[in-house]
């Protein structure tokens, strides 16, 4: 099974692709970046187009998306929610199963501790995927953690 993990955002959308068989295997990771010169609508369109290309290239069976559990800044939460909407709609259009996870669930599944800090989660991503280095940038590492969470919890 191929799982596409997504860490949503408007400026940067982290993605991580893994294969779940007997073990977890890294396929690809990175970020979809949008320009600050674009309007919000144009940024969301860019996210949709780039995500569609990524899905067509790798053909995942599941898209795992980080959910917004709490927020410090309402304006940021709204922008992230808009990006999540585009991501969920794209998966639905392409008839791909969607699984959503809170940051607490992701941390618990990856590190066995729901209050783990970012560094602990990144180290576990590196360990679980047998990587030489922690994936960079952080958005991509978070997306891989989301995909790993899905791999550990999906039936």
Please list the active-site residues. Answer: 7, 66, 139
Structure-token pair, residue 111: 């590190």
Query: What's the start-to-end Cα distance of the chain, in Å?
Result: 11
User: How far is 134 from 5, CA to CA, in rounded Å?
Assistant: 16
* 8 A C-beta contact, residue 76 and residue 38: no
Cβ partners under 8 Å of residue 151, min gap 6: 1, 3, 18, 20, 24
* 8 A C-beta contact, residue 96 and residue 51: no
User: How far is 123 from 145, CA to CA, in rounded Å?
Assistant: 10
- DSSP for residue 39: -
């Amino acid at each position: 099974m191929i799982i596409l993990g997504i860490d949503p955002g408007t400026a940067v959308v982290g993605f991580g692709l893994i294969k779940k068989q007997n073990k977890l295997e890294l396929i690809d990771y990175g970020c979809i970046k949008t320009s600050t010169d674009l309007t919000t609508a144009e940024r969301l369109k860019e996210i949709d187009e780039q995500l569609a290309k990524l899905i067509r290239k790798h053909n995942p069976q599941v898209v795992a998306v980080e959910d917004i559990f709490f927020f410090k800044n309402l304006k940021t939460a709204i922008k992230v929610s808009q990006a999540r909407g585009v991501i969920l709609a794209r998966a639905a259009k392409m008839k791909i199963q969607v699984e959503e996870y809170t940051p607490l669930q992701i941390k618990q599944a990856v590190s066995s501790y729901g209050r783990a800090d970012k560094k602990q989660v990144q180290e576990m991503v590196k360990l679980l995927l047998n990587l030489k280095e922690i994936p960079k940038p952080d958005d991509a590492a978070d997306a891989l953690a989301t995909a790993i969470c899905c791999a550990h919890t999906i039936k």
